[in-house]
Structure 1
Amino acid sequence: MKYMSDQMLIEVYHRAIDLQLDAAFIELLSLELKHRNISITKASA
């Protein structure tokens, strides 16, 4: 994931949640966001 831009990572994270992808994959993305010190606020549906 080190080749993925911050913006792309954020987009993939939101898309994974929207598509209800595997929880382990979403957790992996979440850990990478934390590693990069990127804070994500959950949008209200």
Structure 2
Amino acid sequence: MEKIDDDLLIEAYIKAVELNLERDFISILEQELKRREIVITHNLKPETVY
């Protein structure tokens, strides 16, 4: 994950949520967002914080 830039990580996360991909994959992306201290304020789903 360290090799991809922040913009690509954010784009991957948003697309994964939109496509309703596996929860485990989304969780990995969320963990990396947290590690990088990136907060996504755009609510993709009512329960989505990141």
TM score, norm. by length of structure 2: 0.82
After the TM superposition, list the runs of 4 or more consecutive aligned residues in structure 1 that deviate by more than 3 angstroms.
Answer: none
Residue 21 of structure 1 deviates from its aligned partner by 0.2
Q: Identity across aligned pairs (percent)?
A: 43
Structure 1: give runs of 5+ residues left out of the alignment.
none
Mapping 1:14-29, distance limit 5 Å: 14-29=14-29
Aligned alpha-carbon RMSD (Å): 1.2
Say which structure, 1 or 2, has more relative contact order (CA 8 Å, 6+ apart). Answer: 1
Q: What is the CA deviation profile of residues 5-38 of structure 1, one whole-angstrom value per residue up to 9, with x for unaligned ones?
A: 0000000000000000000000000000000000
Q: Where do 5+ consecutive residues of structure 2 fail to align?
A: 46-50
TM, length-normalised to structure 1: 0.90
